[in-house]
Structure 1
Amino acid sequence: MPAGIVSYGVYIPRYRIRAEEIARVWGEREDMAKSLNVIQKSVPDIDEDAVTIAVEASRNAVRRASIDPARIGAIYAGSESHPYAVKPTGTIVGEAIGVNHELTAADFEFACKAGTAAVQACIGLVSSELIDLGLAIGADTSQGAPGDALEYTAAAGGAAFIIGREDLAAEIEGFYSFTTDTPDFWRREGMAYPEHGGRFTGEPGYFKHVTSAARGLLEKMKTSPEDYDYAVFHQPNGKFPARVAKRLGFSRDQTEPGLVVPWIGNTYSGSSLIGLAATLDVAKPGERIFLASFGSGAGSDAFSIRVKDAIDDIRDRAPKVRDYFEDVVHLDYAVYTKHKGKLRL
């Protein structure tokens, strides 16, 4: 029996800072906001971190399909901003949502694709019938040094997907991964902010890995872009996913429903998964979704997904992605630095 998505949930903090506000402070980069196609980005509240975001997204996933948490046999939490260097995020999530303690749990880390790696791990356990349900999470409160290009996009948010074999909202038809040792982005233990090799970020980083994984999956599935109704790509900014979609032969109409980065920024491990959730919010039974994540360092996971009838039964039982675009609170740069803990004694 194929594995797939039984339920999903998201959480995005209500706070935002406009890209033009960041540009106002760092005037020498005032054109950055327009070039990245990011209007604003989400900002965590003072008491929010990757764990609280993961908990809220997971609760929404459990609520959406009325899941008994005791059925969840694995929790894998992907993030590059786990609040503890030694203390798992997954165990806190499990306790918060009320899982049975007969559970395997671990934290994943692979830059922005740790969440899709967690999905793959859950697929393996579920497909081999070692567990009933698995919970895969991608959540981050991502970092960007003051004045760095990353500061315009590094955001906060997360998504949680419950993977199982029965009552599927969407079947995962197949996946394909492409991985190399490409040092485009890194943060050593104890460093407050990541560094990036600018010339590695685009072609040898994002574009090589996403196109390689995407083409590998299309060949494996014997499909073409025209066979899919929607396409979701990792969203470090607003221009990269549009460019890679065009390069692969996907249209703007296919990518538009899942393109959320202009309004919330790059949520790192949550980025492609929130885009997938936004697409599931509108997709109809029988439609197909193409998904490709990207994680610096570097790798990409591509998935072929077919929406099932159960999506109509669960879709409206928990907040949708675009519900988090409403009732937002905009911060100025001073309050933003307080929320992000950028002022250090």
Structure 2
Amino acid sequence: MVGIITYGAYIPRYRIKTEDIARVWGANGPEIAAGLGVKEKSVPDLDEDTISMSVEAARYALARRDVPRDAIGAIYVGSESHPYAVKPSAATVGEAIGATPVMTAADYEFACKAGTAAIQTCMGLVKSGMIKYGCAIGADTAQGAPGDALEYTASAGGAAIFIGEDNPIAEINHTCSFTTDTPDFWRREGQEYPRHGGRFSGDPAYFKHIQGAAHLMLEQMGTEPSDYDYAIFHQPNAKFPTRVSKMLGFTGEQIKPGLAVPRLGNTYSGAVPVGISATLDVAKPGDRIFVTSYGSGAGSDAFDITVTDAIESDVFDRSAAPTVEELLANGKYLDYALYAKHKGKIVMQ
């Protein structure tokens, strides 16, 4: 059975409280911040980008399990903020972790579900026998224009998920997707910040696609929400995943371990991979995990995952890398001016 053989997450240490963003923009800023349910968000350091965070996440994953570098046949990096318009992030990541030359490497884009699309691709390559191991990464230094609602949540971070058939710590029982042409969020070539459809991004975008993929998964697997110990839904804010989980019949306790967004913000392509990582940090053998990502434009990928005994065996050392909870702890807080400097909103001429 193909599944997750190791994983690792990375979150920058810098933070800004959303109340500090609201203080700068005044007016309805505090109301926006409170409504999103995000108290603070991560901020990349001056020398951090999608590539550096992807490398750190992959290195943490490899610290937990020593995967032979020459057996990593694919590396895919899903992101909305690749440092280069023309130059693959995946090739640099592969070189940095000693996995080159790999069989295939590419950068993925599908808004916030690029990371889960990479997982599906790695699953297919492993199942076909073309590769032994594949590395799927979702990471972003998310963009939000000054004063826009996105600025209260757009953060930085990501996770690396290694896929293989060799004694996985979590078997992926099934995956399916739900996609339509729903333009709720976009950024044209050359534009610095994305634009969005406001409330349209909720309905009929996020909620329609999350529910579409989730219902498809439950139908195909013949399961109910109560059959799962944990559930992870794309978390652009705290409000959306909480609401959609209730609509589908999942409980607050099921989504709690993977819901990092109140203290992390929206890591875009990294949101669901980080949620998977946070859940695997606490999961036990036999636990079943329901996952549904969302990417604007729009589509959702769903996964049915069962944790195996290998997560507590000698082949895997969960303690060899920091947990998501540990990465979220002890943040270094910035005021708005330093935050704007870190994000490149203000630069020296």
Give the TM-score normalised by the residue count of structure 2. Answer: 0.97
Deviations 1:10-51 (A, max 9, x none): 000000000000000011122111110001000000000000
Separation in structure 2 between the aligned mates of residue 83 and residue 200 of structure 1, nearest angstrom:
29
In the other structure, the counterpart of 2:119 is: 119
Structure 1 residue 151: Cα displacement = 0.2
Query: How far apart in 2 are the matches of 1:269 and 1:137?
Result: 9
Name the CA distance, whole Å, in 1 between partners of 2:312 and 2:15.
31
- SS in structure 2 opposite 1:31? helix
Name the residue aligned to 1:193.
Answer: 193
Contact 1:71/1:100 (<8 A) preserved:
no
Aligned to 1:130: 130
Matched with 1:14 is 13
Alignment of 1:1-345 (within 5 A): 2-28=1-27, 29-313=29-313, 314-343=317-346
Q: CA deviation at 1:311?
A: 1.0
Deviation at 1:343, TM superposition (A): 1.6
Q: Deviations over 1:153-185 (max 9, x none)?
A: 000001000000011000000011000010100
**Length-normalised TM-score, structure 1:** 0.98
Read off the aligned partner of 1:321 and give its amino acid letter. Answer: V
2:72, 2:102 within 8 Å by CA — same for their partners in 1?
no
**For residues 21 and 3 of structure 1, what CA distance do their matches in structure 2 show?**
45
Shift of 1:310: 1.1
Displacement, 1:70?
1.5
Superimposed CA distance per residue, residues 242-276 of structure 1 (whole angstroms, 9 cap, x where no aligned partner): 00000000000100011000001000000011011
8 Å CA contact 1:10, 1:160 repeated in 2 = yes
CA distance in 1, matches of 2:34, 2:330: 24
The percentage of aligned residue pairs carrying the same residue is: 62
Other structure's SS at 1:257 match = coil
1:21 maps to a residue whose letter is D
Local SS of the residue matching 2:256: helix
Give 1:333 deviation, angstroms: 0.1
Measured after TM superposition, the shift of residue 327 of structure 1 is 2.0
Aligned-residue offset at 1:198: 1.2
Q: Distance in 2 between matches of 1:185 and 1:221?
A: 31
- How far residue 102 of structure 1 moved from its aligned partner, in angstroms, is 3.9
Cα distance, 1:68–1:245 mapped onto 2, change above 3 Å:
same
Checking the alignment, whether the CA contact within 8 Å between 1:155 and 1:267 is kept in structure 2 is yes
Q: Give the letter for the 2:141 counterpart.
A: T
TM-superposed deviation, 1:199: 3.4
- Cα deviation, 1:74-111, whole Å, max 9, x if unaligned, reads 00100000000000000000000001414200000000
Number of residues of Structure 1 aligned to a counterpart in Structure 2: 344
Q: Is the 1:288–1:305 Cα contact (8 Å) retained in structure 2?
A: yes
Question: Is contact 2:75-2:102 (8 Å) kept?
Answer: no
Summarize deviations over 1:110-137 as a string: whole Å, max 9, x none: 0000000000000000011110000000
Cα distance in 2 for partners of 1:291, 1:95 equals: 30
Quote how far apart the aligned CAs of 1:201 are. 0.4
User: Whole-Å Cα distance in 2 between the matches of residues 330 and 192 of structure 1?
Assistant: 25
Unaligned runs of 5+ in 2: none
Q: How far has the Cα of 1:68 moved from its partner? A: 1.8
Structure 1: gaps of 5 or more residues: none
3-state SS of 1:30 partner? helix
Q: Find the residue that maps to 1:9 and give its secondary structure.
A: strand
Q: Which amino acid in structure 1 is aligned with residue 44 of structure 2?
A: P
**Structure 1 Cα separation of the partners of residues 30 and 50 of structure 2:** 30
CA distance in 2, matches of 1:196, 1:262: 21
CA distance in 1, matches of 2:145, 2:311: 40
Q: Secondary structure of the equivalent of 1:189? A: coil
Q: How far 1:230 moved relative to its partner? A: 0.2
Partner Cα distance (2:293, 2:337) in 1: 33
Do 1:62 and 1:69's aligned partners in 2 also have CA atoms closer than 8 Å? no
